[in-house]
Amino acid sequence: MAFISDKLSDEEMEAIAMSEPAIREAIQAERIFMGNPDDYFRYVSRQIALMDYRSGMQGAVEEGIRRGIAQGRREGRAEGRHLGITHIAMNMLRAGTPLSTVAQMVELPEAVIRKMSEEHGLQVS
């Protein structure tokens, strides 16, 4: 913990670092790396490219989520309209409304209304 502390002088930090083999190796590797401008430039360029890639991926994920939510809402509304139309049509048939009138009111072909009525166990003429 003393190594990370701001309370040590550079000399004290160097002494601690050199007493630990892993830290000493890391510092030596850093000096070699930082001493070669081409390696450092490639490293920085790679890091920037990775950040750009992650940022782009995050944006793509967010856009995908937005599109998925919008599509789900469209599908939900369509399903709700269909269920509402079916409910109204069946209630109208149960009340004795002629098939042609029901088809006209819910704006569906008579064949569709007839099929829906059969699926709901209603007999229409």
pLDDT, tens only, 75-96 = 999 999 999 999 999 999 999 9
Q: What is the pLDDT of residue 1?
A: 47
Report whether pLDDT(73) > 60: yes
Structural contact between residues 113 and 89, judged by C-beta atoms closer than 8 angstroms? yes
**What residue spans define the domains of the chain?**
10-119
Structural contact between residues 92 and 105, judged by C-beta atoms closer than 8 angstroms? yes
pLDDT digits (tens, 9 = 90+) for 95-125: 999 999 999 999 999 999 999 989 888 888 6
Report the 3 state secondary structure along 44-95.
HHHHHHHHHHHHHHHHHHHHHHHHHHHHHHHHHHHHHHHHHHHHHHHHHHHC
Q: What is the pLDDT of residue 34?
A: 79
> Average pLDDT, whole number, for the chain?
87
Confidence class for position 5, pLDDT limits 50, 70, 90: low
